[in-house]
Amino acid sequence: MRLHRLTMTAIGPFPGTHEIDFARLGASGLFLLEGPTGAGKSTIIDAVVFALYGQVASTASSNDRLHSDHPAAAGSVPSVELVFETSSGVFRVSRTPAHDRAKARGEGTTRQPASVRLWRLAGPEALGPGEPLSQRVREADEEIARAVGLSREQFVQTMVLPQGEFAAFLRSDAEERRKVLQRLFGTEVYERVQVQLDEMRRSARSEREAACATLTAATATFAGAAGLEAEERELLAKLAADDVEALPVALADVLAGLATSHTDAETAASASGEVSRRADEVLTSATERVTLVEALRALLQRQVRLVNAKPEVETARGRLNEAQRAEPLLDALRLAGDAERAVRESDELVAEYRRELPPELRPLGPVELAAARDGVLAAVGGLRAALDLEGSLPTLEDALDAAERELARCQEELAEVQREAAAAPAQEAALEAELAAARPVAAERRLRTTERDEARTRLDAATRRVAVLDRLRGAGESLRVAAGVAHAANEHVARLRRRRIAGIAAELAGALVEGEPCAVCGSPVHPRPALPSEEQVGAPQVQEAEEAFAEAQAALDAAEDELVSLRTEDAVLAEASRGHDVEQADALLATAGQAVVDSRRAEGCVADAESRLETLRAGARARLELVEERTTQREGLLLKVGLRRSVRVDAVTAVLDAAAGFPSVADRAEALAGTQELVEAVLRATTSRDERAIVAVERGRAAVEAVSAAGFADAEAVRAACLTEAEQLRLRGQVETHEAEAQAVSVGLDEPRFSGVDPAEVVEVAPLRAAARRAREALDTAVRACGTARARLDGAGVGARDVEAAAAARAAVMERTEPVIRVANLASATGVDNERRIDLATFVLRRRFEEVVAAANQRLTQVSSGRYLLERTDDRESGRARRGGLGLAVLDLVTETRRAPATLSGGETFYVALSLALGLADVVTMEAGGIELGTLFVDEGFGSLDPGTLDQVLQVLARLREGGRVVGVVSHVEEMKGRIAERIEVRRRDDGSSTLTVRA
């Protein structure tokens, strides 16, 4: 347990509010609580105990002393608030003692009962109230007791040593010590240990059974993989159960047999492979001969087929030649036919055009039609002005529509500008609200940057602190080693001193001279001088041991200095990192960095919002000007639309007059133009027909002459001789294919490979193929047999390794569980090793007390300069036997006497009791359920010590700082101020109240 922060208001002689930061105060591991007697030093300890347990430290004191009797600030309520840390977490508890307060109405006071509030904190420096746990006294007391792990009596006995009480344990009888030890160590835990050991014994036996079963299963698996017979399997199973040491030899024998079988199978497979290869070679040679004979036969068959097809090929060649003579005549025949068709088409076209003419023009000849065409041309020329006006009507319509659309657009723009002008105030208000929200965040950028830099500093300190803590652990181990060496050297000095004292008489006797007076008794007669013994020690040996002890002590002091230096550095880094570890500091840095980013983003938002606000205001001014402009423009557009409507009406009237009943002037002009075109078409078609008739006569005469010259009877004979392109390709391909195949057959028959080959030769392949198949089957059988042997060998190898692993695991389980079973038998007093038949719960109190005495002697040896040691005894007290041997005696190594603790002087009682109390706290720290005593208070008693003993006591207290423990020394001795820098100064005021100042 470690104390972090204490806050008192109106407590004892302190009417004001005072806060003590124990984490900062105890950075060096040792601090002084000093002030004159009665000023209130013990009140601070009472406040700590009261905050945790609702009672003060001393059982002889009352809680009424907590409420300050001195005038406090108006509205002040007596309270104690403590932040402390245990293995269960960090807690904050606030208590108020029962007190009288002024009535809310009227005069007098009313009794206010005691109250408590308990919170769980995320860390010692966590902000906010924390997680509330309880506001009820009983519930809070139970929660704190669970967290601390000590009752108030245990806490006071091990962590707070108030005035007059830390010697009670030294002077108490055995039964009182038993009660204290039972409360501190709780022997019921050792009864639970016995139960746990019984369970572990049962579990160990189960593990042994499981290991044996695993070995049996692995052996059976190996036997199955190796294909062993039933008798061999039973033999292996028996070895696995009864003779594990012989099992590896049996496994090796089986593996050797499997390896031999695999070698034999490999040899057989190799021989079968050679037979199969030779059979395959014979089959391949025969197959190649069959292929050659069949190829020769195929060539001869192709030759016969080509000879039979030769007449047909010659016929195809003749047809191709005739088609080549007829093909040039087709162009002349085609031209003559085209000319005749052109004449017929012209006759049809002239008739068609005349049918489309108006009835009055159809019977006219070419001359009359030309005169009619001229009249139509004159009428079309008279409509040109009306056509232009009619053509301009769409333009006039478009101009009118454009003017109307422009007017509508102008009106819409005017309405839109008016709407935007109406919406601008709301937009401006929204932007101003956005600015109001962003400006405070942007203004914090410099502060957030500073916080980020501080977080970065904390992270650096936390990172450096990790290395310091590693060195601190190493320094603590070095200190423990040096302390052990110094303790051993000190005991060696003490033993040599006792032996020298025991032999001092013989040493003096060795210097006696007959007739000269003795330096001790003065007698010149020396009748019986003491004789030296084998264990006699001289001054040089003692001096050498003392020098060794001085060297060990110097090494111990150097280790202590190193530890103090590292703790100081750790405290500085802890202060710089605010107690955060690397992960926490990194998280805080990330949070601070994000805050800087948010502030910078807010600055950008402010600039953007201000720009948009200025743009919005400029737009509002522009819109006012635009409203005036659009209003003037609308008036001009209204006049423009009226004028264009008038022009359009006049144009429509003139066009209707020129149309003369037609849908439009263009339709009338088109009808006249159509008549003109028809007349001209008839005239052109008539002229063209006459010209084509002349061409047709000339081409017909030329075609007849060409057909006769080529030797054909007529045009039909020419067309019959012609072939299509597909037919030509087919016949030409037939001829070329026949010629190419004949050439290929001739070349093939001339190949050397057919020399000496008889096409009638017959080669029997089937018997050879059957022989090759039988050889391959024999090879497959041999390969499978080899694979089976290989698989058995591999499987058996894996199984053997599994058996060996299971055997090794069984041996390891047997070896590992043997101590468990033996210890369980010993703890429950059922084994042969426990000759006294004392179970663990009975034995533990004596052992714990011996550990307490041993831990106390480590400090007592130093503080008493090697004179005193504590010893557990089984002596009787007041006529009754000590239960469990909890008696206590003090060994005086100088006088070689055993003394009762009550015979010690005041100063001796102080440092002997202090050593015993610190030893008790050490044992609790190491073995009382993991309770860590991080803060220790020692109250008074230093005034009874001489300067030399005080130095030794302070050295003992300094060593308590190992492992991060903080020791608070409570004293009014003036000399202590010069020895301890960090301190709480308690001072009286003129009005009798007190105040305190923390100097760290």
How does DSSP classify residue 877? B
- What mean pLDDT do residues 427-443 have? 75
**Rounded distance, CA 241 to CA 206, Å?**
16
DSSP-based three-state secondary structure for 886: coil
Percent of the chain with pLDDT over 90: 5
Backbone φ, ψ for residue 425 (5° rounding) = -60, -40
In which residue are the tokens 């695993």 written? 214
Which of 131-145, 152-166, 679-693, 986-1000 shows the lowest per-residue confidence on average (mean pLDDT)?
A: 152-166
**Rounded distance, CA 292 to CA 294, Å?**
5
**Rounded distance, CA 228 to CA 222, Å?**
9
What confidence score (pLDDT) does residue 95 get? Answer: 93
Backbone φ, ψ for residue 453 (5° rounding) = -60, -40
* For residue 963, pLDDT beyond 70: no
Q: Of 875, 915, 871, 916, whose CA–CA distance to 893 is shortest?
A: 871
The amino acid that residue 530 corresponds to is A
* For residue 789, pLDDT beyond 50: yes
Backbone φ, ψ for residue 750 (5° rounding) = -85, 0
* For residue 6, pLDDT beyond 90: yes
**Rounded distance, CA 934 to CA 942, Å?**
22
Which of 447-456, 769-778, 838-847, 866-875 shows the lowest per-residue confidence on average (mean pLDDT)?
A: 838-847
Q: Of 30, 18, 2, whose CA–CA distance to 563 is shortest?
A: 30
Of the two residues 358 and 113, the one the predictor is more confident about is 113
* For residue 160, pLDDT beyond 90: no
Terminal Cα-to-Cα distance of the chain (whole angstroms): 21
* For residue 420, pLDDT beyond 80: no
What dihedral do alpha carbons 66, 72, 76, 81 form, nearest 10°? -40
Q: Is pTM beyond 0.75 here? A: no
Q: What is the DSSP string of 432-461?
A: HHHHHHHHHHHHTHHHHHHHHHHHHHHHHH
What confidence score (pLDDT) does residue 877 get? Answer: 47
Residue 134 pairs in a beta bridge with: 118
**Rounded distance, CA 813 to CA 804, Å?**
14
Query: Average model confidence (pLDDT) for the chain?
Result: 79
Q: Which of 70-84, 388-402, 669-683, 701-715 has maximum average pLDDT?
A: 70-84
Angle between helices 665-709 and 366-381 (to 10 degrees): 150
**Rounded distance, CA 941 to CA 162, Å?**
10
pLDDT in tens, 259-275: 888 888 788 878 888 88
What confidence score (pLDDT) does residue 870 get? Answer: 92
What confidence score (pLDDT) does residue 62 get? Answer: 67
Q: Give the Å distances, CA to CA, from 218 to 226, 243, 422, 802.
A: 12, 15, 93, 6
Q: Give the Å distances, CA to CA, from 571 to 29, 126, 335, 881.
A: 9, 18, 120, 51
**Rounded distance, CA 920 to CA 208, Å?**
41
DSSP-based three-state secondary structure for 512: coil
**Rounded distance, CA 647 to CA 643, Å?**
7
Q: Which of 324-328, 570-574, 796-800, 933-937 has maximum average pLDDT?
A: 796-800
Give ∠ CA 955-960-966 in degrees, rounded to 5: 115
* For residue 51, pLDDT beyond 90: yes
pLDDT in tens, 800-840: 888 888 888 888 888 888 888 888 888 777 776 776 666 67
What confidence score (pLDDT) does residue 808 get? Answer: 86
pLDDT in tens, 177-211: 777 776 666 666 777 787 888 888 888 888 888 88
**Rounded distance, CA 923 to CA 853, Å?**
10
* For residue 476, pLDDT beyond 70: yes
The amino acid that residue 620 corresponds to is A
* For residue 470, pLDDT beyond 70: yes
Backbone φ, ψ for residue 846 (5° rounding) = -65, -40
- What mean pLDDT do residues 525-552 have? 77
Percent of the chain with pLDDT over 70: 87
pLDDT in tens, 662-721: 777 677 667 777 777 777 777 777 787 777 788 778 877 877 777 777 777 777 777 777
**Beta strand segments in 762-892, E:** 868-873, 887-892
* For residue 500, pLDDT beyond 90: no
DSSP-based three-state secondary structure for 966: strand
User: At 995, is the pLDDT very low, low, confident or very high (cuts 50, 70, 90)?
Assistant: very high
Contacts of 37 (CB under 8 A, 6+ apart): 972
**Rounded distance, CA 575 to CA 579, Å?**
6
Q: Which of 227-236, 380-389, 643-652, 872-881 has maximum average pLDDT?
A: 227-236
